[in-house]
Chain A
Amino acid sequence: MFKQATWDVRDTTRVAAFAALIAVLGLPGALPVFGGAVPITLQTLGVMLAGTILGPWRGAAAVLTLEALVLVGLPLLSGGRGGAGVFVGPTAGYLIGWILGAFVTGAIAFSGSARPTWWRTAAACVTGGILVVYAFGIPIQALVTRLPLAETALTSTVFLPGDLVKAVLATAITLTLWRAYPRAFSRRISPTRSRGAGVTR
């Protein structure tokens, strides 16, 4: 799983498409909490899906690609945010957490059997998509705003219900996608082929 597999054009285009998809998920119907400073959007759903579908390396690469585009100034984060400012603002830690979060989500989701199970996918989304993201987001938010850690953590709990809903959605979407289009999971053995046949593509 952690062995760096060979990277080909298909991986580049899939990572690019996923980066674009996360950007598109930030476009419609963001539900702003506190008027949009840290909006609840479907973008964290996209981060979880990047892990469960593309796996750890490609998932993290997709998030990294999106953030590189944000850094150079494209307004691709929810609410049209972008530019170098978001990496020095109160939400900077969450963006760092996204990269590692996608990796951890993918690492857990891709461990074990080739077929995704609901409990492993759900555990992956909660661990990678919520715990890891918060582990980076909250301390850095406390550091930037200089509000003590405990109070910052307290104010961040408003996002927890939304994030749990997104973990449930990501799990449901991943399992439905597996039934509908197993080819989406690029490195996994498709269910019609037996494991160990040596055909992963």
Chain B
Amino acid sequence: MISVYRSGTSILHRLPPGLKLIGFIGTSLVIAVTTTHLLEVVAAATFVMTGYAAAGLGARALTSQILAVKWVIVFMLVPQLLFLSALDAVSNTARVVLILVLAALFTMTTRIPDLLDAAERAASPLRRVGIRPESVALLLGLSITSIPVIAGFAATVRDAQRARGISAHRVTFAVPLLIMSLKHADDLADAVNARGIES
């Protein structure tokens, strides 16, 4: 799995992941609600750039994140220019791009295993409604490990159809893929049960 995490020791890297996520959501909402005029967009942009600097990520990281959302820019700007004034269109687009770039900053400074651990801790109040935090962790872990397995099933089905000279039809492709995936799930359940892991 491709991770976008950039290692570092900055204050942003060291913040607890749960706190960082709440802070990111709060900041995004503030930017989304308050940023309307060009001056506010510039202020928000300065804030985001400060964040990148604080994480030890330079202009190159920032540029590559903006390039990564280039299609969002096109997708937003074109209809906005048709229906709204040019200034509004540009500041609306800039606001959304800023939030996306800020989100990338969160993702780049947080390791996925740390977030999964945080998710397990955050799930502990669910114990009261009968959901064990361990089964949330098991569910997330099994999902990640199932992705390459099921991608392999998809390749198998595609190859089998190609070998028989059948062009990839979506129904005849999806049905064997679903059967293989669900059988895999039942095998996993047997394996989990055999190891006596409660879920």
Seen from chain A, the residues whose Cβ lies within 8 Å of a Cβ on chain B are 7-10, 12-21, 23-24, 27-28, 32, 34-38, 42, 45, 49, 53, 61, 65-66, 68-69, 72-76, 80, 82-90, 144-148, 151, 155, 169, 172-173, 176-177, 180-181, 183-184
Q: Are A84 and B147 in contact (CB under 8 A)?
A: no
Chain B at the A interface: mostly helix, strand, loop or mixed?
helix
Q: Are B32 and A88 in contact (CB under 8 A)?
A: yes
Q: Are B175 and A173 in contact (CB under 8 A)?
A: yes
Q: Are A9 and B199 in contact (CB under 8 A)?
A: yes
Q: Are A20 and B174 in contact (CB under 8 A)?
A: no
- Chain B residues closer than 8 Å to A53, beta-carbon distance: 178, 182
- Cβ proximity bits B59-72 to A, threshold 8 Å, 1 near / 0 not: 00000000001011
Highest count of chain B CB atoms <10 Å: which of A12, A19, A36: A12
Distance between B185 CB and nearest chain A CB, rounded to angstroms: 4
Pick the residue among A12, A14, A66, A73 that contacts B107 (CB under 8 A): A73
Distance of A53 Cα from B182 Cα, bound (Å): 10
Chain A, residue nearest B74 (CB): A35
In the A-B complex, the 8 residue pairs with the smallest Cβ-Cβ separation, listed nearest first, are A85-B103, A37-B75, A20-B146, A17-B185, A16-B142, A83-B107, A72-B115, A13-B188
- Chain B residues closer than 8 Å to A68, beta-carbon distance: 119, 140
Distance of A181 Cα from B178 Cα, bound (Å): 9
Q: Are A73 and B110 in contact (CB under 8 A)?
A: yes
Distance of A42 Cα from B96 Cα, bound (Å): 26
Distance of A201 Cα from B139 Cα, bound (Å): 21
Can you list 11 A-B pairs with a CB-CB distance of less than 8 A?
A9-B193, A10-B186, A16-B185, A17-B150, A21-B177, A37-B75, A37-B76, A72-B115, A73-B4, A75-B2, A180-B175
Q: A73-B4, A85-B104 are in contact. Are A169 and B75 (CB under 8 A)?
A: no
- Chain A residues closer than 8 Å to B135, beta-carbon distance: 12
CB of B179 closer than 8 Å to a CB of A: yes
- Chain B residues closer than 8 Å to A16, beta-carbon distance: 139, 142-143, 146, 185, 188
Distance between A153 CB and nearest chain B CB, rounded to angstroms: 11
Distance of A83 Cα from B112 Cα, bound (Å): 10
Q: Are B83 and A148 in contact (CB under 8 A)?
A: yes
- Cβ proximity bits B114-137 to A, threshold 8 Å, 1 near / 0 not: 011001000000000001000100
CB of B99 closer than 8 Å to a CB of A: yes
Distance between A124 CB and nearest chain B CB, rounded to angstroms: 17
Distance of A15 Cα from B140 Cα, bound (Å): 10
Q: Are A88 and B139 in contact (CB under 8 A)?
A: no
- Chain B residues closer than 8 Å to A151, beta-carbon distance: 79, 82-83
CB of B48 closer than 8 Å to a CB of A: no
Chain A at the B interface: mostly helix, strand, loop or mixed?
helix
Chain B, residue nearest A155 (CB): B79
Q: Are A17 and B106 in contact (CB under 8 A)?
A: no
Chain A, residue nearest B84 (CB): A147
Distance between B76 CB and nearest chain A CB, rounded to angstroms: 6
Pick the residue among A80, A89, A155, A177 that contacts B100 (CB under 8 A): A89
Pick the residue among A75, A88, A173 that contacts B28 (CB under 8 A): A88
Q: Are A73 and B79 in contact (CB under 8 A)?
A: no
- Chain B residues closer than 8 Å to A85, beta-carbon distance: 69, 99-100, 102-104, 107
- Chain A residues closer than 8 Å to B199, beta-carbon distance: 8-9, 12
